[in-house]
Amino acid sequence: MDLFDGDRTRGHGRGDYFRVVDSPSATIIGTHYSLLAGDCVLSLADSPCRNIYLFNCCGGLGREIGAAYSVKKAFDFEGFSAMLAGKGENAGYLPDQALAGRFSRFSGLAQGTCATVGSLALEEVHLPRFRELGVDCLDMECSAVFSAAKKTGKAALALLYVSNSIPDKPWHEHLTQPDIQRLARSRKDLASLLLRFIS
């Protein structure tokens, strides 16, 4: 079964795993499940796609809600069982250096180091290791997207905005109204920045 199955009438498609929307300068793919982000990239191997932009929320390590980053390195903490057992070498994956350099010159956005995790519940257990590695933010897709992009010969870049802050405002706690407003502004501003860069 094609991962992108679904009706593509009028430039939109919705399959079991992904939503697809065509725009004048890009095709936007939304995943239903974070664990399929790498599969999404692998499925684009023989497509005309050249650049992959991961746009997503993340947990910040002591960072303010709404802070935004261009990811300069993503550590692999993807495996739930490895996180639970406290094992793993935690390989690091990089964005495409040419694409990241062009975006950095265009945007001036802060760069951050990400840890891609396989468990939200185990994030706080690994805080000492994250701090040791210089991690600024946590997500569930970035290292998979970077490694799959490298495998398929695509250029990848990741832009993340902080939607919760560890350990003071973890993922399972409700945000205050000011946090919600700041998050909405950040997401909108970062999306606008990315679209200007792509155009």
Q: Residue-wise pLDDT tens for the chain (199 aa)?
A: 233 444 444 555 556 777 888 777 788 888 877 788 999 999 999 999 999 999 999 999 988 999 999 999 999 999 989 888 987 778 999 999 999 999 999 999 999 999 999 999 999 999 999 999 999 999 999 999 999 999 999 999 999 999 999 888 777 778 889 999 999 999 999 999 999 999 8
Q: Is residue 34 part of a domain?
A: no
Which residues contact residue 41 at a Cβ distance below 8 angstroms, ignoring those fewer than 6 apart?
52, 144, 145, 148, 149, 152, 154, 156
CATH number at residue 102: 3.40.50.1580
Q: Is residue 71 part of a domain?
A: yes
pTM for the predicted model, two decimal places:
0.87
H or E element at residue 147: helix 142-152
pLDDT of 171 = 76
Q: Is residue 138 part of a domain?
A: yes
Q: Is residue 22 part of a domain?
A: no
pLDDT of 12 = 52
What is the domain range of residue 161?
A: 51-198
Q: Which amino acid is at 102?
A: R
Closest CA to 114 of 157, 172, 52: 157
Q: Is residue 104 part of a domain?
A: yes
**Number of independent structural domains in the chain:** 1
How many whole angstroms separate alpha carbon 38 and alpha carbon 164?
23
For the chain, give me the number of helices (H) and strands (E)?
A: 6, 9
Q: Is residue 7 part of a domain?
A: no
How many whole angstroms separate alpha carbon 184 and alpha carbon 177?
11
Q: Is residue 5 part of a domain?
A: no
How many whole angstroms separate alpha carbon 65 and alpha carbon 35?
24
Q: Is residue 154 part of a domain?
A: yes
pLDDT of 13 = 52
For 16-131, where are the E strands, in sequence order? 18-22, 27-31, 51-61, 68-77, 92-93, 111-117
